[in-house]
């Protein structure tokens, strides 16, 4: 089923400003600087430990009912995106109603501007892409713009939102890891605000505090209260465009530019995140699934038949999502050889289970 509403006045105005901004080469479309806000939980004395590193002890002990979150991911209508979305949705349905889950409804935010052949299989909301040429080949810039439109136009019942990606697999039921004004996020080792202070000061002024106020995160996976994301999303959009327009930040941040933009936008709004390393794992670097919640298969997994990693070189055995740019992987992929980490084997087994059970998989 597909849902879409006409663009609101504010969205239309925002779009017009985007086009004007692209002409003049500047993207100061929305006020970036907001009053730095301290989370209410900290004002009330919850300060046992730094909440950006770990959830405060008082919060951990708080008994509360289910705090459902809406799962939202942005996607294109390309075959490469479609098959990943289908696998993700399969595992969402498997985990959603199991004990320990706070998983609510699911939406694939399709930023192609038109529906596709998955709208009757996966709950989908169609939004517009950026104006032609504005992303300059960096299609990920459509992600913040897609969220801006969806948040303004759609009816979202849950109070919280999980921002996810097509190449995420739910390993187990996911509880709400956030709390109030403290969203939960996964810390990425390659997002290093302190090492890029000179560049980031162009977008995060000194009066907003030290660059360590910028969390080492991207927008996904993040569980965040809906009203906070509604404030952050337009700023995230704006900062993404400004970073892409700046040659230094564009060159330095490359494919993770939009991730830095979300981190900066959150900090501009005074929002800090609980950093959860157990939120996600990324084979082949993370060797075991352990008690983690999401498996992110962004990296290629290449091994010889002795089970030795041959990263950077195509292995005798491999699984790499980029091998299937034009269409879905076949059913019943061969399992990795002995000696390959458990996380890689789990990935292939879960892909195989999904493809065996999704109707019309290779059609």
Q: What is the DSSP letter of 169?
A: E
> 126 pairs with which residues across the strands?
110
Confidence check: pLDDT of 128 > 90: yes
pLDDT value of residue 66: 80
Task: Please give the Cα distance from 18 to 29 (Å, whole number).
Answer: 7
Task: Please give the Cα distance from 166 to 108 (Å, whole number).
Answer: 9
Mean pLDDT along residues 103-115: 97
In this structure, what is the dihedral angle of CA atoms 342, 334, 90, 72, given to the nearest 10 degrees? 70
Task: Please give the Cα distance from 298 to 101 (Å, whole number).
Answer: 25
Interval 289-325: pLDDT, tens: 999 999 999 999 999 999 999 988 999 999 999 999 9
Domain ranges, ordered by start, for the chain = 178-217+226-275, 281-357
Sheet holding 124-126, edge to edge: 2-3, 124-126, 103-110, 69-75, 160-164, 222-225, 184-185, 274-275
Task: Please give the Cα distance from 93 to 242 (Å, whole number).
Answer: 38
- State the pLDDT confidence band at 185, using cuts at 50, 70 and 90: very high
Q: Nearest CA to 294 among 169, 161, 166, 177? A: 169
Task: Please give the Cα distance from 108 to 123 (Å, whole number).
Answer: 6
Between 17 and 168, name the one with better pLDDT: 168
Which residue carries 């930040």 as its tokens?
A: 249
- State the pLDDT confidence band at 362, using cuts at 50, 70 and 90: confident
Interval 228-255: pLDDT, tens: 999 999 999 999 999 999 999 999 999 9
Q: pTM for the full model?
A: 0.85
Sign of CA dihedral 45, 46, 52, 53: positive
Confidence check: pLDDT of 359 > 90: yes
DSSP 3-state assignment of 181?
coil
Mean pLDDT along residues 106-112: 97
């Amino acid at each position: 089923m597909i849902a879409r509403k006409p663009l609101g006045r504010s969205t239309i105005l925002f779009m017009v400003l985007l086009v004007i901004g692209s002409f003049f080469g500047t993207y100061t479309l929305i006020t970036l600087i907001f009053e730095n806000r301290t989370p209410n939980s900290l004002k009330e004395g919850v300060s046992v430990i730094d909440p950006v590193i770990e959830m405060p002890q008082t919060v951990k002990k708080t008994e509360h009912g289910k705090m459902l979150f809406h799962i939202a991911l942005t996607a294109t209508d390309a075959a490469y995106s479609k098959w990943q979305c289908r696998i993700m949705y399969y595992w969402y349905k498997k985990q959603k109603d199991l004990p320990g889950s706070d998983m609510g409804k699911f939406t694939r935010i399709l930023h192609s501007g038109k529906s596709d052949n998955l709208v009757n299989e996966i709950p989908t909301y169609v939004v517009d892409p950026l104006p032609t040429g504005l992303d300059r080949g960096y299609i990920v810039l459509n992600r913040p713009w897609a969220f801006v439109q969806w948040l303004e136009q759609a009816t979202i019942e849950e109070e919280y939102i999980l921002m996810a990606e097509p190449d995420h697999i739910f390993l187990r039921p996911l509880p709400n890891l956030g709390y109030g004004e403290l969203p939960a996020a996964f810390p990425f080792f390659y997002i290093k605000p302190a090492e890029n202070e000179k560049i980031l000061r162009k977008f995060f002024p000194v009066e907003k505090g030290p660059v360590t106020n910028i969390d080492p995160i991207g927008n996904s996976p993040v569980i965040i209260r809906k009203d906070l994301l509604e404030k952050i999303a337009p700023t995230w959009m704006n900062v993404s465009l400004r970073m892409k327009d700046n040659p230094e930040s564009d060159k330095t941040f490359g494919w993770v530019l939009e991730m830095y933009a979300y981190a900066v936008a959150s900090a501009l709004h005074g929002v800090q995140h609980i950093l959860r390393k157990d939120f996600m794992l990324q084979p082949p670097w993370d060797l075991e699934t352990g008690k983690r919640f999401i498996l992110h298969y962004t990296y290629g997994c290449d091994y010889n038949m002795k089970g030795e990693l041959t990263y950077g070189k195509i292995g005798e055995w491999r699984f790499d999502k980029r091998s299937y740019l034009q269409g879905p992987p076949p059913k019943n992929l061969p399992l990795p050889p002995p000696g390959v980490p458990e996380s890689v084997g789990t990935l292939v087994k879960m892909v195989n289970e999904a493809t065996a059970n999704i109707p019309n998989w290779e059609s």
